[in-house]
A and B are shown apart, each in its own frame.
Chain A
Amino acid sequence: MTDNGKKLIEVVDLHKSFGDNEVLKGIDITINKGDKVVVIGPSGSGKSTFLRCLNCMEDATSGKILYHGVDITDMKVDINVHRQKMGMVFQHFNLFNNKTILENIMLSPVLVAKKENKKLSRAQRKSSKEIKEQKREEAMALLKRIGLEDKADAYPSQLSGGQKQRVAIVRSLAMNPDVILFDEPTSALDPEMVGEVLDVMKELAEAGMTMVVVTHEMGFAREVGSRVLFIDDGKILEEGSPEQIFGNPQNARLRDFLSKVL
């Protein structure tokens, strides 16, 4: 990755209110290519809201979110195009229940490829069958990577939580995103399944994927995080390397938080 360290997401004075409840009270942060940003903080402090504002799942009340230099809070931009390059992994997986595992992974890539295909000249165009076949192979390769190729034709309801989350990760990976946002990806899992999901995430991190991860897994934060953000009461109260945040925390609220979770 040659453009590592280049600005990818720039958040400028982000505010978000639900009615009278101001949840984010001015967040400024720049996320560069290759960063592994880990977000920690007490429950209800606005971590999910922050993450969901990054891909406009929640519309910011004010402030800017520049993705590849484009302000995606602007209602005029086609948010779908940006989300295609901005994966998201949820606490509750959100796999499509009416689709097989393979279809879950292929669905959006096929739709995007078909749309791209229409822009080509007639001679260059592929048939929709060729596109599907190509995306199916890519999806199968991803499934192989997480050791679930035998589940290709199963439905989400037939998978364990850990398997579902691994599929959800490769579903977002199938779009070739520039960044993946994780919102407590292991919080809904039985303890024995946490490891397999974290392993996939570590592998992604090693492969150079830019990641923003909200998590309570402090071990993961230490090991994988390149930067840690501590959010409380809708603000970033402290930011630093894992060594700084865990070894030498400055903010009293952070120290208090760490004493409870470590």
Chain B
Amino acid sequence: MGNFEAKWEAFLRAFVDYGGYRMVLEGLRNTIIIAVLGLIIGIFIGVVIASVEVMPKYKVIPRVLDKICQVYVAFFRGTPLVVQLLVGYYVIRPLLGLHISALGSCIIIYGMNSGAYVSEIMRGGINSVDPGQMEGGRSVGMSYLTTMTKIVIPQAVKNILPTLGNEFIALIKDTSIVSFVGANDLYVAFKYIGTNNYEFMIPYLVMALIYIVIVLIITLCIKLMERRLRRSDR
């Protein structure tokens, strides 16, 4: 146990005295920023893709849009996130001459990736809304688009909120690889702390605990939200 105490002291020294906590806070902040903004972008893209997918396809434009969406989803679901991150940061970014930070790139890539997954969730949500809602809207002369945005999609979002919570958790967990493109996250922070005297046991243990606590907190929030939504349904 003396050994453990020594490790703990080394950890505390690195965490407090050498400014490790600042890196942890920054990592935590980045993790949350990437997950929150990524999910928001993901919901936006997901709603657009799902709306295109459920659109009536008599005309050429919806059919072309549908094909584009299919390719998009196939790409983002069919390749590893790390690959998307590396390609986005080291290939697309310089090719397009974009000056975006590593963090900004992560937000965009995670958002685009999440959009592919959210679109599937969203399509399920839209299909779960009674078709009568669309007919009700059309019968008072509202357009397809207006009825979709004001009536169908809000109900679809409500139906899938718990599932979106799971997507948020998945995003939080996925942020642990952003150091591949040089962004600072929890992993980078705890690696720095461990590197101080090559003691990684405690740092990585604490890192795991932090992830667990974040996920537990989010799960609790989802539960509370579900309960409130159920009450408004009755």
Interface residue ranges, A against B (CB under 8 Å): 55, 57, 80-85, 87-88, 90, 92-99, 107-108, 111-112, 155, 157-158, 168, 171-172, 175
- B137 and A96 within 8 A (CB): yes
Give Cα A95 to B138, complex, Å. Answer: 12
B160 close to chain A: CB less than 8 A: no
Q: A94 and B146 in contact (CB under 8 A), knowing A157-B234, A158-B234?
A: no
21 contacting pairs across A/B (C-beta < 8 A)? A57-B138, A83-B140, A83-B141, A84-B141, A85-B141, A88-B139, A90-B139, A92-B132, A94-B130, A94-B136, A94-B139, A95-B136, A96-B136, A97-B155, A98-B151, A99-B151, A108-B137, A108-B142, A157-B234, A158-B234, A168-B136
B58 to chain A, nearest CB (A): 9
Q: A82-B141, A94-B136 are in contact. List 7 more A-B contacts (CB 8 A).
A: A88-B135, A94-B133, A96-B137, A97-B133, A107-B142, A175-B140, A175-B141
Contacts of A94 in B (CB 8 A): 130, 132-133, 135-136, 139
Give Cα A162 to B142, complex, Å. Answer: 25
B150 close to chain A: CB less than 8 A: yes
B124 close to chain A: CB less than 8 A: no
Q: A108 and B141 in contact (CB under 8 A), knowing A90-B135, A96-B136?
A: yes
- B140 and A108 within 8 A (CB): yes
- A172 and B139 within 8 A (CB): yes
B158 close to chain A: CB less than 8 A: yes
Give Cα A93 to B132, complex, Å. Answer: 8
State which of A81, A90, A158 has its C-beta within 8 Å of the C-beta of B136: A90
Give Cα A18 to B146, complex, Å. Answer: 27
Nearest neighbor of B132 in chain A, beta-carbon distance: A94
- A55 and B140 within 8 A (CB): no
Contacts of A96 in B (CB 8 A): 133, 136-137, 151
- How many CB-defined contacts (below 8 Å) exist between A and B? 67
Interface residue ranges, B against A (CB under 8 Å): 130, 132-133, 135-143, 146, 150-151, 154-155, 158, 232-234
State which of B135, B140, B154 has its C-beta within 8 Å of the C-beta of A87: B140
4 closest A-B pairs by CB: A84-B141, A94-B136, A88-B139, A108-B140
Q: A84 and B140 in contact (CB under 8 A), knowing A92-B132, A107-B150?
A: yes
Q: A107 and B140 in contact (CB under 8 A), knowing A98-B155, A158-B234?
A: yes
- A172 and B140 within 8 A (CB): yes
Contacts of A87 in B (CB 8 A): 139-140
Give Cα A88 to B158, complex, Å. Answer: 27
B12 to chain A, nearest CB (A): 52
B47 to chain A, nearest CB (A): 15
Contacts of A99 in B (CB 8 A): 151
- B139 and A111 within 8 A (CB): no
Contacts of A85 in B (CB 8 A): 141
Give Cα A107 to B133, complex, Å. Answer: 14
Nearest neighbor of B131 in chain A, beta-carbon distance: A94
- A83 and B138 within 8 A (CB): yes
Nearest neighbor of A95 in chain B, beta-carbon distance: B136
Give Cα A12 to B234, complex, Å. Answer: 46
B212 to chain A, nearest CB (A): 35
Give Cα A39 to B158, complex, Å. Answer: 39
Give Cα A108 to B150, complex, Å. Answer: 11
- A171 and B140 within 8 A (CB): yes
State which of B139, B143, B158 has its C-beta within 8 Å of the C-beta of A98: B158
B128 to chain A, nearest CB (A): 12
B28 to chain A, nearest CB (A): 35
State which of B133, B141, B155 has its C-beta within 8 Å of the C-beta of A80: B141
Contacts of A97 in B (CB 8 A): 130, 133, 155
Contacts of A95 in B (CB 8 A): 136
Contacts of A107 in B (CB 8 A): 140, 142, 150
Contacts of B154 in A (CB 8 A): 98
Nearest neighbor of B134 in chain A, beta-carbon distance: A94
